[in-house]
Amino acid sequence: MKFPIKLNRLYWGKVLTHIFPSSVDPRVLCSGKIDAVSFTSAVSVLKFGTTLKTTNKKRFTQTIQELANLKFQGLPVVLDVGASDGSASIDVIRNIEFNKYYLTDLNIEIFYNISGGATYFYDEKGVNILMVSDKWVVYFDADGAIFPFNKILNLIKRRIPKLVGGNKKIVLINPELQALVSSKVAICKYNMFEAWNHEKVDLIVAGNILNQCYFSDFEILNVLKNLISALKENGRIVIVDNRPHEKSSIFKFVKGVVKLEKRINGGTDIESLVLNNDTWE
């Protein structure tokens, strides 16, 4: 990350936060009492490894319209991969009919610890990913950091308190989505680099996750292999990019071959990766 140290927008005035890299204060997540919109904007600040949890409602409305028009043999089973806090997924859930909706993400919870006036956020393995104070939001992501951020980061890193038992946990699922959980909507942790070991699905939604800024082509192909193996015959996978505008492609899996069914606003950037593989079986 080029600028791993950002101004905390709660403290600094609008002029400075427009000029310099700045961030929403994600500590609102720790309060427990938070509305759905503030929850999403706080979760969107978090970064795990190479991927941000950025999401939003009404992110891919045209794609959802196309999905609502697709014909399936019965009501589809849906797998939503890398759904973040589920805000974008709420629109899918509300606009398409389904038999079962698996809303999944690799990073579903985070831990925090308050020490010396700063709040430290850790992933489930205890790796510190973020430090937030009244003035600063600091990412512990030195990859590509420019001088002097790289040096300052090294100094701060030496003082990070370790994650110890008793730290508080935050579930990174939007309260609005949590209210929709039922026998038809399940939330589960799923790493797309591994095989999907639940039932086969009719539709996979991969929104803003199969991104060449996050992963190499080799990694994306590995993920595609796992996802396509999770599809039933005639199943669909939709890949959406919002960078910055909505573009997506809907693919259909027929007799071991993936075919393009619909392209929206020019299609996903990785269309050729999906189509250049002759057989996915």
DSSP codes joined into one string, 43-90: HTT-EETTEE----TTSSHHHHHHHHH---SSSPEEEEES-TTSHHHH
Given a contact cutoff of 8 angstroms between Cβ atoms, the answer to whether 60 and 242 are in contact is yes
- Should residue 120 be labelled a site residue for ligand SAM when binding is judged by CB under 6 A? no
Q: Which one among 35, 144, 186, 193 touches ligand SAM, defined by CB under 6 A? A: 193
Please work out the total of residues on this chain that contact ligand SAM, with binding judged by CB under 6 A: 22
User: Tokens standing for 132?
Assistant: 């937030």
Q: Which one among 88, 163, 185, 204 touches ligand SAM, defined by CB under 6 A? A: 88
Segment interacting with ligand SAM (CB under 6 A) among 9-17, 158-166, 206-214, 259-267: 206-214
Segment interacting with ligand SAM (CB under 6 A) among 93-101, 128-136, 184-192, 261-269: 184-192
Give the CA distances from residue 32 to residues 23, 26, 39, 174, 217, in Å, rounded to whole numbers and listed in that order. 20, 12, 10, 11, 39
Segment interacting with ligand SAM (CB under 6 A) among 28-36, 109-117, 144-152, 185-193: 185-193
Nearer to ligand SAM, 93 or 118 (CB): 93
Given a contact cutoff of 8 angstroms between Cβ atoms, the answer to whether 203 and 67 are in contact is yes
- Should residue 26 be labelled a site residue for ligand SAM when binding is judged by CB under 6 A? no
Taking the complex as a whole, the smallest distance from the CB of residue 74 to ligand SAM amounts, in Å, to 25
Q: Which one among 67, 103, 106, 264 touches ligand SAM, defined by CB under 6 A? A: 106
- Should residue 20 be labelled a site residue for ligand SAM when binding is judged by CB under 6 A? no
Q: DSSP letter for 35, please.
A: -
- Should residue 230 be labelled a site residue for ligand SAM when binding is judged by CB under 6 A? no
Residues 6+ apart with CB under 8 A from 223: 192, 193, 210, 215
Instruction: Find the DSSP H helices in the chain.
Output: 14-19, 36-43, 61-69, 87-95, 149-157, 175-178, 217-229, 271-275
Given a contact cutoff of 8 angstroms between Cβ atoms, the answer to whether 209 and 144 are in contact is no
- Should residue 55 be labelled a site residue for ligand SAM when binding is judged by CB under 6 A? yes
Q: Which one among 36, 67, 77, 83 touches ligand SAM, defined by CB under 6 A? A: 83
Residues near ligand SAM (CB under 6 A):
48, 51-55, 59, 81-84, 88, 105-107, 190-193, 207-209
